[in-house]
């Protein structure tokens, strides 16, 4: 049994001001895997006060001091990487190969990237008579979700640290373990007291206390659209900056010259990674109408190849995070059937042979873009395939969404593929694959307003001062 009953405040592990706990459930077994303390506004006050006290010194620390700290964290992180991955698997159900691989690896990647960016980042530049100085914004409240728990924590904590900010992290209640280990890593690496603080608990309590706090200068939030809107409203009275990284319903456009079976298989398998709980997942697959049947056959066969089960076994997909998430996904699958979408693979209920755990069948529908399952973020292993007539139609369908987080284009002719990518109203487009820790990540439209990753992630946490004359 794991225990997350203390908070990390002012360089120490402390008991909550008001004792209150909740069980943490292992989504693979539905058994209790540990206990979390649910913090209160008093714990947030203590954490914010510690961050405020630490701000003056840390904001004036040298780049060398910050690099030394990030490298010290890197050494401890590398040593505890397996433990971090195991924690991710236990808290949110990702297969161990994913937990210890890409999930924990993303954290290591963001840490290395923060170091690389900090080594050459220009905090000052002279432009004519003006010295433009980039200064840390202050005390930051960092609020994160459970789906790629280490990714979302590290993509905030390390740039905030590198730019001289101090912070209070509020990890997801459903997935508290990896953040707890990260706090231990920060402590062992010698992070000065008060620079990094962590309070666990409910979003409606801890998150709201941070968003409304007079002494918090900025909130960086990753999570759902409704909560992002609520935080923006809560933060308005104290005029703090709010960085939002919200949901998506990203289109994957397969162009006519692309190898159809191969690309559909890649898109289908990609949708099932992390049981479909990825904000930038290509959850709408757009294929030329004349090749729809070919695409459906390829998707069906790709789904058959997705093994689902115990995340400690050699499987492609574990359970989804919680009973509530399982029920939401089941509702969407039923909605798809009710509104007449064609079920290509999967469907309602658990995969055969699995009677416990929040397991979902890898599911594919064919439908039109006006279907609810094509418009709303399902956040589960459910792909919709939509036929298009020509490139203009494909672009129109892709952009016909309130979201604008990611996009994918597959095609042999690179110029055509890039031209389509330029027309997508989204914060990122991956053309024929690719991955880059330095590529800015964030959304257009209802997918948010922030840009994380790489150098752009630093700008989130900086104020700009002009010294003229
Ligand atoms: P969520 O919005 O329910 O919760 C996210 C965090 O906000 C949690 O820590 C939660 O406790 C906290 N919270 C809840 N209510 C709050 C409130 N009133 N005030 C302040 N904080 C509050 O989201 P989730 O279910 O944990 O995550 C899934 C969502 O996150 C999906 O919509 C997904 O697309 C999105 N997401 C976006 C990105 C991105 O980079 N754009 C990345 C990952 C996930």
Pocket test for ligand 1, best of 179, 203, 250, 439 (most atoms within 8 A of CB): 203
* pLDDT for residue 249: 98
Whether 245 is a known active-site residue: answer yes
* pLDDT for residue 361: 98
Name the residue with the closest Cα to ligand 1, atom 42: 279
The response to whether residue 279 sits with its C-beta less than 6 Å from ligand 1 reads yes
* pLDDT for residue 192: 99
Residue 283's nearest CA partner among 398, 156, 445 is: 398
* pLDDT for residue 164: 98
Name the residue with the closest Cα to ligand 1, atom 43: 279
Could you tell me the distance, in angstroms and rounded to a whole number, from the CA of residue 205 to the centre of ligand 1?
14
Q: Which atom of ligand 1 is nearest to the CA of 248?
A: 34
* pLDDT for residue 458: 98
pLDDT in tens, the chain (469 residues): 999 999 999 999 999 999 999 999 999 999 999 999 999 999 999 999 999 999 999 999 999 999 999 999 999 999 999 999 999 999 999 999 999 999 999 999 999 999 999 999 999 999 999 999 999 999 999 999 999 999 999 999 999 999 999 999 999 999 999 999 999 999 999 999 999 999 999 999 999 999 999 999 999 999 999 999 999 999 999 999 999 999 999 999 999 999 999 999 999 999 999 999 999 999 999 999 999 999 999 999 999 999 999 999 999 999 999 999 999 999 999 999 999 999 999 999 999 999 999 999 999 999 999 999 999 999 999 999 999 999 999 999 999 999 999 999 999 999 999 999 999 999 999 999 999 999 999 999 999 999 999 999 999 999 999 999 9
Q: Which of these is catalytic: 100, 140, 165, 279?
A: 279
* pLDDT for residue 250: 98
Could you tell me the distance, in angstroms and rounded to a whole number, from the CA of residue 240 to the centre of ligand 1?
19
Could you tell me the distance, in angstroms and rounded to a whole number, from the CA of residue 25 to the centre of ligand 1?
18
What is the pTM (predicted TM-score) of this model?
Answer: 0.98
Whether 91 is a known active-site residue: answer no
Contact predicate 320/277, CB 8 Å: yes
* pLDDT for residue 33: 98
Q: Which of these is catalytic: 90, 91, 225, 245?
A: 245
Could you tell me the distance, in angstroms and rounded to a whole number, from the CA of residue 324 to the centre of ligand 1?
14
């Amino acid at each position: 049994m794991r225990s997350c009953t203390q908070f990390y405040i002012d360089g120490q592990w402390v008991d909550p001001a008001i004792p209150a706990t909740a069980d943490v459930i292992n989504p693979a077994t539905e058994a209790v895997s540990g206990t979390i303390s649910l913090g209160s506004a008093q714990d947030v006050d203590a954490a914010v006060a510690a961050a405020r006290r630490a701000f003056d010194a840390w904001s004036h620390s040298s780049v060398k001091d910050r690099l030394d700290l990030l490298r010290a964290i890197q050494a401890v992180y590398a040593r505890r990487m397996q433990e971090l991955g195991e924690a991710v698997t236990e808290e949110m159900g990702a297969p161990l190969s994913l937990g210890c691989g890409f999930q924990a690896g993303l954290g290591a990647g963001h840490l290395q990237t923060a170091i690389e960016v900090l080594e050459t980042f220009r905090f000052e530049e002279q432009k004519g008579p003006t010295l433009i100085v980039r200064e840390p914004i202050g005390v930051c409240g960092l609020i994160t979700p459970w789906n790629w728990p280490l990714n979302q924590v590290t993509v905030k904590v390390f740039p905030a640290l590198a730019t001289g900010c101090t912070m209070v992290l509020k990890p997801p209640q459903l997935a508290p373990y990896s953040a707890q280990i990260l706090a231990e890593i920060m402590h062992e690496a010698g992070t000065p007291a008060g620079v990094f603080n962590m309070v666990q608990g409910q979003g409606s309590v801890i998150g709201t206390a941070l968003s409304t706090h007079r002494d918090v200068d900025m909130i960086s939030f990753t999570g759902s659209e409704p909560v992002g809107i609520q935080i923006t409203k809560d933060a308005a009275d104290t005029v703090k900056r709010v960085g939002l990284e919200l949901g998506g319903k990203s289109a994957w456009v397969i162009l006519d010259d692309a190898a159809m079976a191969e690309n559909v298989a890649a898109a289908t398998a990609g949708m099932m990674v992390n049981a479909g709980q990825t904000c930038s997942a290509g959850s709408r697959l757009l294929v030329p109408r004349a090749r729809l049947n070919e695409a459906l056959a390829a998707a069906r066969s790709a789904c058959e190849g997705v093994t689902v089960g115990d995340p400690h076994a050699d499987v492609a997909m574990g359970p989804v995070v919680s009973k509530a998430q399982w029920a939401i996904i089941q509702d969407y699958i039923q909605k798809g059937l009710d509104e007449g979408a064609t079920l290509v693979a999967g469907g309602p209920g658990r995969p055969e042979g699995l009677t416990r755990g929040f397991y979902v069948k890898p599911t594919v529908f064919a439908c039109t873009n006006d279907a609810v399952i094509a418009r709303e973020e399902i956040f589960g292993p459910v792909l919709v395939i939509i036929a298009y007539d020509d490139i203009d139609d494909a672009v129109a369908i892709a952009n016909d969404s309130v979201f604008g987080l990611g996009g994918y284009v597959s095609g042999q002719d690179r110029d055509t593929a890039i031209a389509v990518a330029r027309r997508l109203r989204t914060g990122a487009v991956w053309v024929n694959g690719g991955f880059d820790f330095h590529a800015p990540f964030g959304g257009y439209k209802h997918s948010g307003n922030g840009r994380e990753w790489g150098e752009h992630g630093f700008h989130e946490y900086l104020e700009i001062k002009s010294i003229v004359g």
